[in-house]
Amino acid sequence: MSGPVLAFIEHAGGEPDRLSLEALAFARSLVTKLGAALEAVVLGSGVEGVAGQLGAHGVGAAHVATDARLDDFAPAAWGAAIRTIVAARAPAAVVVAGSERGNEVLAHVAARLGLPMAANVIEVTPGNSWRLVRQRWAGSLLEDAALDAPIRLLSVAPHAVAAAPTAATSVPTISTFAPELEPADLVARVVRREPKASAGVSLADAKVVVGGGRGVGSAAGFANLEALAKELGGAVGGSRVVTSLGWRPHSDQIGQTGLRIAPDLYIACGISGAIQHIVGCKAAKRILAINTDPDSPIMAVADYAVIGDLGAVVPAITAEIERRRAPA
């Protein structure tokens, strides 16, 4: 008889986070394999509404800690609250979203319980020894691994599974619990927030992104990319080379150590296609590569290509759009 699978649910504005719902979908397939129950843990004041929505995602019982000390992010305290429920429920596994916060909180749980943790898992097969597949290099490489522990701590790689609700909708049993927090758990907590600077369409949200690599040649060379992005109502980003050279600020970096974008169209200009960059842009619906080298690795992930010097091609595209838009 297996203990339940416990899913940790992040939330904002009274709604569960999308990545947490993906983690729930992952956990649902795990409980089917185990023949176990699916339970959730939700933290913060007034989260009963969030917990109530989880029935549609297969959760039978939700444990909520309506403790105001957990309202804002405090990773050690969130981890302690999860450990309180782990002690009470003896789960077979704890599943979290492979978000920045999810991985960080699970690391606290793992460290305090003295258990291994597998980050960014995409598949799991329970057994005497659990087998799992996890992402390395932000998904450019996969690792088959074994996990031998009484409680399996897993984070689910973003977008590895879809966040689909179940057919049968039910209302989960909601029970409140008092997390066992020590003063040390509350040392690392947010003391100040600064809102997002709202200036035009952000790189993360843009429908069209024009990206530049070493082939752009200089910081000034980005003027051509800016002009094309303006015509398309898009945003400009760059590869790691470009931010490391100081041609663009780091916040414009698309890649493993920068932003992961998912626009309708990504126009890769003078970008060779290092895997560091590809993992940041491969979620784009379509990729147009503009490059002098028809054999560059970017061509393997691009849908469309123009072979040529971006210094000539990009302004020509901008001019063509302007020409078609001009009144006849």
Partner 1 sequence: MNILVCVKRVPQTGGRIVLTADGQAIDTKFLGHTISPHEECGVEEAVQIVEKEGGSSAVLTLGPAEAEEQLRDAMAIGIDRAILLETTGGEWDPVSTAGAIAETVEAQEAAHGHFDLLFFGNEAADTGDYQIGVRVAVALGRPVINGIKDIWFTDDRHAVLARREAPGGGWETYELPLPVVLGVKEGLNLPRYPSVPGRLRAKKKEVERVALGSSPSGALGLGAGEDSAGLGGAVPGPTKLLLRLPQEERSAAEVIGRGAEAAPAVVDMLERIGVLAR
Q: Which of residues 52-91 bind partner 1 (CB under 8 A)?
A: 73, 75-76
Near partner 1 by CB under 8 A: residue from 58, 139, 221, 238: 139
Q: Which of these segments, 33-41, 60-68, 167-175, 188-196, binds partner 1 (CB under 8 A)?
A: 188-196
Position 145 contacts partner 1 (CB under 8 A): yes
Position 138 contacts partner 1 (CB under 8 A): yes
Tell me how far apart the alpha carbons of residues 261 and 202 are, in angstroms, rounded to a whole number.
Answer: 11
Near partner 1 by CB under 8 A: residue from 195, 199, 326, 327: 195
Give the position of tokens 């530049």. 212
Q: String of b and e for 203-227 (b: at least 16 CB within 10 Å)? A: beebebbbbbbbbbeeeebbebbeb
Near partner 1 by CB under 8 A: residue from 68, 191, 220, 326: 191
Position 164 contacts partner 1 (CB under 8 A): no
Q: How far is the CB of 150 from partner 1 (least distance, A)?
A: 8
Within 10 Å of residue 163's Cβ, how many Cβ atoms?
18
Position 11 contacts partner 1 (CB under 8 A): no
Q: Which of these segments, 83-91, 168-176, 215-223, 311-319, binds partner 1 (CB under 8 A)?
A: 311-319
> C-alpha distances in angstroms, 185 versus 40, 79, 114?
22, 9, 17
Near partner 1 by CB under 8 A: residue from 35, 68, 144, 162: 144
Q: How far is the CB of 298 from partner 1 (least distance, A)?
A: 8
Near partner 1 by CB under 8 A: residue from 2, 52, 60, 107: 107
How large is the C-alpha radius of gyration of the chain? 23
Position 108 contacts partner 1 (CB under 8 A): yes
Q: How far is the CB of 173 from partner 1 (least distance, A)?
A: 29
Near partner 1 by CB under 8 A: residue from 12, 68, 220, 328: 12
Please count the CA atoms within 13 angstroms of the CA of 263 that sit on its side-chain side: 28
Q: How far is the CB of 61 from partner 1 (least distance, A)?
A: 26
Q: How far is the CB of 169 from partner 1 (least distance, A)?
A: 28
Pair 266, 238: CB distance under 8 Å: no
> C-alpha distances in angstroms, 274 versus 169, 258, 278?
45, 14, 6
Tell me how far apart the alpha carbons of residues 65 and 62 are, in angstroms, rounded to a whole number.
Answer: 10
Tell me how far apart the alpha carbons of residues 41 and 177 are, in angstroms, rounded to a whole number.
Answer: 10
**Bridge pairing between strands 117-125 and 130-136:** antiparallel
Q: How far is the CB of 46 from partner 1 (least distance, A)?
A: 19
Position 202 contacts partner 1 (CB under 8 A): yes
Position 239 contacts partner 1 (CB under 8 A): no
Position 45 contacts partner 1 (CB under 8 A): no
Near partner 1 by CB under 8 A: residue from 90, 164, 178, 300: 300
Q: Which of residues 270-289 bind partner 1 (CB under 8 A)?
A: 272-276, 286-289
Tell me how far apart the alpha carbons of residues 239 and 296 are, in angstroms, rounded to a whole number.
Answer: 15
Tell me how far apart the alpha carbons of residues 17 and 169 are, in angstroms, rounded to a whole number.
Answer: 19
Copy the structure tokens of residue 281: 């842009």
Position 147 contacts partner 1 (CB under 8 A): yes
| 3-class DSSP string for 108-158 | HHHHHHCCCEEEEEEEEECCCCEEEEEEEHHHCEEEEEEECCCCEEEEECC
Position 7 contacts partner 1 (CB under 8 A): no
Q: How far is the CB of 6 from partner 1 (least distance, A)?
A: 18
